[in-house]
Chain A
């Protein structure tokens, strides 16, 4: 899904850049180019911020996330090339990636929430997951993943 996102952004960026020269009025060019500009800076800030906040754990999670995305994309391309004959196998493989991905993201959100609290930002909701400690979230994660894997294996055969 993040893949979609990044593609979306790129496409949008391309669309914008293509649109820029054709528009004659500078008043129009101005906002479009600023939008584009802001977009770039937004991405830049995000990236910077992202690397700043990276802990070993989140790094690990993100690595795994990246791996899952690649695997998912690979399967998707494969299914487009080969055709969806063993549909259940494809679904099993693909959904296992997606499922694992969202579980990981959930875990990351929950853990990040914890670190944010540690930094004491002073925001209005200092802690979103009040009832969930990182240990518990990790336990939940393992529980859900196990179920996921079980079903996937059952699904593939």
Chain B
């Protein structure tokens, strides 16, 4: 079985290495040919089968000089995904192309990476480790091993952290390492060490110097999603490859969302989409449509009532003036005459009584799902001089208006009379 796999691997390596097909996603698998990366044959082969059926694969060893992550323009990536198997060596030859900076750039250009941690004698080559450190993941170095004398198998109770990716854990034995992680908000752990687990340098007694992790500060599987939704996962052992959801998630096959549209209208003029100008106290309606990628196509992303996944809109100027949960509207189609591939949410609210430049901000950050960020800046203006309540609409002011009119009428009468009286005067004078 293992041998077969190896032959297959080599075969693929020679035939498909530079095969390019726009339609099919490209995946690069980096491994160390000196050690067979797959100790656990069942999980490993399932994984490779999955890869083979979903992607155009490129296999290369870490020293292969011909591997480059980018096309010649340096602005687009050659592969959609990279899978890193552990290696026995710390250094690699192809440092020109495979270094921490290029890997970071790879993520910044929306590439996904699955990193598989090694056990005692294997680890990641140096550049990859530095790169992981930049993300905030610090796997134990070579010669370190995760040990838990009390629980040999991983269990949901002891190890699984509540998350949106994996909901059941079934690992009979774990042979690998653990990682420390920083407070980077983009990281979210999936499987942690148990309270009794620790990572220690193999063959040395436990002390402050030689341990990497103690108890629950160590993590066995960690997911990371960059702001541009590029995904990275680090798993501490090849044993975790039987958790299918993790790598499906990395390859954007699971929990991948897309904001199909986000628009707002003024209730008074709903035909005009995304107006730039509102007036204070106007009624605004904000609508979004979200799709989820499932089994190769976009389907509506519907959330159960009261779920904490419900998207929120904040209407803010420096600080949020309104923070509203969106309500479900129903399935719609993102294109004209298309399938019902989107689920629409909406909210109806009153623009605050404050003028300024406000932002409709949809900042959807739920760990495990694609980030969605949409900002639309609008101007909220004050009432124009003729939009205030008119004096004659206010009963209080009727008296004033009446008095003004009275003054004017009286003035008119006065002028007429004055002239008349004046004439009388002159007549008298004449007489």
Contacts and interface: CB of A to CB of B under 8 A. Distances in A.
Given A64-B414, A157-B390, A86 B404 contact: no
A4 B424 CA distance: 35
Nearest to A135: B422
Query: How would you classify the secondary structure of chain A's contact residues: helix, strand, loop or mixed?
Result: helix
A148 B430 CA distance: 36
A61 B410 CA distance: 11
B411 interface: yes
Contacts of A17: none
Contacts of A89: 391, 394, 396-397, 400-401
B277 interface: no
Contacts of B392: 157
A111 to B, nearest CB: 10
Contact of B403 (A56, A71, A85, A142): A71
B394 to A, nearest CB: 5
A74 B232 CA distance: 79
A126 interface: no
A96 B414 contact: no
Interface in B202-245: none
A138 interface: yes
B404 A92 contact: yes
A145 interface: yes
A96 B418 contact: no
Contacts of A156: 391, 397, 400-401, 404
Nearest to A142: B415
Interface residues of A, number: 33
Nearest to B401: A156
A100 B400 contact: no
Contacts of A74: 399, 403
B24 interface: no
A134 to B, nearest CB: 8
Nearest to A100: B407
B39 interface: no
B356 to A, nearest CB: 25
B421 interface: yes
Interface in A38-58: 55-57
B406 interface: yes
Interface string A2-33: 00000000000000000000000000000000
Interface residues of B, number: 24
A100 B385 CA distance: 27
Contacts of A90: 397, 400
A34 B347 CA distance: 81
A152 B411 CA distance: 14
B391 A57 contact: no
Contacts of B414: 60-61, 64
A96 B406 CA distance: 10
Given A89-B401, A100-B407, A149-B408, A56 B415 contact: no
B412 to A, nearest CB: 10
A67 B410 CA distance: 9
B411 A100 contact: yes
A101 B415 CA distance: 14
A78 B397 CA distance: 10
B267 interface: no
A152 B404 contact: yes
A147 interface: no
B408 A86 contact: no
A120 B125 CA distance: 120
Given A56-B424, A142-B415, A85 B407 contact: no
A110 to B, nearest CB: 13
B425 interface: yes
Given A93-B404, A96-B404, A88 B411 contact: no
B417 A97 contact: no
A157 B391 contact: yes
A75 interface: yes
A152 B402 CA distance: 12
Given A64-B410, A85-B397, 10 more contacts: A55-B425, A60-B414, A67-B410, A75-B403, A82-B396, A86-B396, A89-B400, A93-B401, A96-B403, A97-B407
Interface of B: 390-392, 394, 396-397, 399-401, 403-404, 406-408, 410-411, 414-415, 417-418, 421-422, 424-425
27 contacts: A56-B425, A57-B421, A60-B414, A60-B417, A61-B418, A64-B411, A64-B414, A68-B407, A74-B399, A75-B399, A85-B394, A85-B396, A86-B400, A88-B391, A89-B391, A89-B400, A89-B401, A94-B400, A100-B407, A100-B411, A145-B411, A153-B404, A156-B391, A156-B397, A156-B404, A157-B390, A157-B391
Interface of A: 55-57, 60-61, 64, 67-68, 71, 74-75, 78, 82-83, 85-86, 88-90, 92-94, 96-97, 100, 138, 142, 145, 149, 152-153, 156-157
